[in-house]
Chain A
Amino acid sequence: MVPAVIKRRAPPSAGDAPMMSSASLAERHASDLFAVRWNNWRLALLVAAVAVPAAIAVLPPSVSFWTAGSLCALVALTAVVAAWGRHTGGLLVAPAIAVLVTMNIFPLLWSLGLSFFNYRADRQILDFIGLRNYERLVTDPIVWERLTTTATFVVLTVAAQMVVGFLLAMLFSRQFPLRRYLLILVLTPMMLAYVAVGAFYRYYYDPTFGLVSQFVNMFTDGSFVLISSTTGAIAAIVIADAWMWSPFVMLLVLAGLVSVPKYLYEAAAIDRVPAWRRFWYITFPYVKGLLLLALLFRTIEAFKLFDIVFILTDGGQNTETIALYVYRQAIQFNKTSYSSALSYVLLFTVIVLTNLYLYLANRRSREV
């Protein structure tokens, strides 16, 4: 062995080195595979690949999970030892990736698998039914109804946020005394919990002593109940959500507004450019990119609208969003497989939107 190692370290001479090294490498691989050493990750992987399915098949679930887990840990450990000092980037990233894989990616793959079965969390049946879950959800009119409801929410709340956020940003775009402190008042709603905001608005929308009802009752006779019709319930949710997230749009637009070079405005002032042209040709180009980012980000978030609907109407008055529908199918009706299939539709949508978002965000950060 020793001469071979020395030869590999020496600069390759034209004649014998390639032949020698390839032969000795093959030999080394064969002997290394079964050598019990801490850096032999191939052996660990092989053992794990054989033992994990065996453990899952033979042992009870609670034991086999931990067996499989420790075998995976062994593979990880050997891989770390093998990579030490050579693949720094990989080593730094690996722990985080491992946590994400165990807590996010693996469960997601599991539910992808489940979506091809007819599994229900409250029963012990497990039949392979192929794509039938997907077939069912495409033909299910309720799914389409819930998607329409969600789309309504997305359009209304994102539009409201863009308008209110933009106006707020215009208000705060200049320096004035106490600006910093007033800005905090406006930015606070964004940082609150959905549950807390939902609870506020339930108080304000209350039919008898809620502030909104009291205000409306000043002008009309009789009691005013906002969350009694579909339109009212949708308005109630959209108002609460738009109140909460307009500051987000404001923050992004504001970042665009303060990035406009001052000399452009000064030049425009000297040339007496009218205000709307100044806005359209100077301000808007700087804000455009961020506005688009805000739009996409809020669309993704609004698409997931769950908490506030859950607290305010609990899906009553036809306000059930797709996320709430999946929640009900999975948790209340225990239709695990069907809801897994449904959640993959959501997942796909979010992946597309996120991809678009990142593409735009990267393009913008390259420009800046």
Chain B
Amino acid sequence: MASGLTGGRGGNRGRPIDQSGWGRTAFAGFVSFLYFLPVLIIIITAFKEHTDALAVPVKLLPTTFFGLIPESYAFVPTLENFQNVFSRSFSAGAEAQDTGFARFFFNSIFIAGTSVLLALILGTVAAYGFSRYPLKGNDTYLFIILTTRMLPPIVVIIPVMLMFRITGLAGTYTGVILLYAAFNLPFTIWMMKSFFDELSPDVEDSARLDGSSEWSVFFRICLPQVLAGIAATAVFGLILTWNEFLFALLLTGVETRTVPVAMSQTIGGDIGVRWGLLAAIETLFLIPVILVTFFLQNQLLRGVTFGTVKR
């Protein structure tokens, strides 16, 4: 499995044709560092005080490295911004108030978790069906399913808003979770189908010959083989839902608001240009994503293409 990205196939050791040394590492490290710099600067900014975040010229490092770097380029790190994310005073001298971000983070986690779980249960079963019991016009169904995911969100959201307004689902957890479950379903089906398609049918056939029922073929033979795939799909779904903006903007109420929406309102909202605070929100928001990218590295390709490209 690891071969897709890391390229390290067993037999290649000692063959210099696709190997490079530390020279390539140095160059690639420089390029990667530059590429990652926008994220890094945000994380650094999160530890700056308000005046340091707005300093010209920019203060880059938290220490002077024993006087190697001039004082004016260094700042004193602070955790103040992270406290301010959750409670701060909105005007000078006023008492600190709850900003609601604890709630927004809970909402993001809760909505993403529930909808992904729902999509995963329905989607895995459907993917198994599409993979093992092809219907008449199987490809057409799969195409329609993928199309619903490829559509611009705004196209889907206009009628959904009308529907939610009539049924009173707008602004409720139920409505948002249902919509996100539907949003994650096409992705889950395509991903899981690509995993099921890779299994060898011989194992299942021999299990059937030995008298296994269809239920135990699914639960005992197929599911255990795709557990890693299920985990990858789940984590991908979590990230997609965690990052999603437009549905959340239009369908969440005050109570069910998610972090991206709160963040977008913070940009133009009550704090004006308190970039340190915004950077702290972003840092908290990014940490899970960066961790996941690290652990999912070998499944990234399949994930970002909805399982249409495996390797």
Contact = CB atoms under 8 A, between A and B. Distances in A.
Contact of A92 (B56, B129, B152): B129
B262 to A, nearest CB: 10
B126 A104 contact: no
Given A248-B304, A251-B301, A258-B3, A199 B267 contact: yes
Given A195-B245, A200-B38, A208-B56, A97 B25 contact: no
A58 interface: no
Interface string A77-94: 000000000001111110
A65 interface: yes
Interface string B124-160: 0110111011110000010111111011111111111
B301 A174 contact: no
Interface string A250-287: 01101100110010011001000000000000000000
B309 A343 contact: no
A265 B18 CA distance: 9
B101 interface: no
B267 A202 contact: yes
B194 to A, nearest CB: 9
Nearest to A112: B159
Interface in A170-219: 171-180, 182-196, 198-204, 206, 208-209, 211, 214
Interface range for B: 35 or more
A330 B42 contact: no
Nearest to A201: B38
Nearest to B183: A103
Interface stretch (A13-21, A28-36, A152-160, A347-355): A347-355
A103 B179 contact: yes
A59 interface: no
Contact of A193 (B146, B148, B245): B245
A20 B134 CA distance: 34
B253 to A, nearest CB: 15
B22 A191 contact: no
A361 interface: yes
A195 B158 contact: no
B35 A186 contact: yes
Contacts of B55: 209
Contact of B133 (A92, A185, A339): A92
The 5 A-B pairs with the shortest beta carbon distances in the complex, nearest first, are A89-B133, A92-B129, A103-B182, A107-B159, A96-B126
22 contacts: A65-B166, A88-B133, A92-B133, A96-B145, A99-B182, A103-B183, A105-B144, A176-B20, A184-B293, A186-B31, A189-B39, A192-B286, A199-B267, A200-B282, A202-B267, A203-B279, A209-B55, A211-B58, A214-B58, A255-B5, A293-B308, A355-B143
Given A66-B167, A326-B158, 17 more contacts: A88-B133, A88-B214, A92-B130, A168-B31, A176-B24, A180-B297, A188-B290, A190-B304, A193-B244, A196-B260, A255-B4, A326-B154, A330-B154, A343-B158, A346-B155, A354-B150, A357-B308
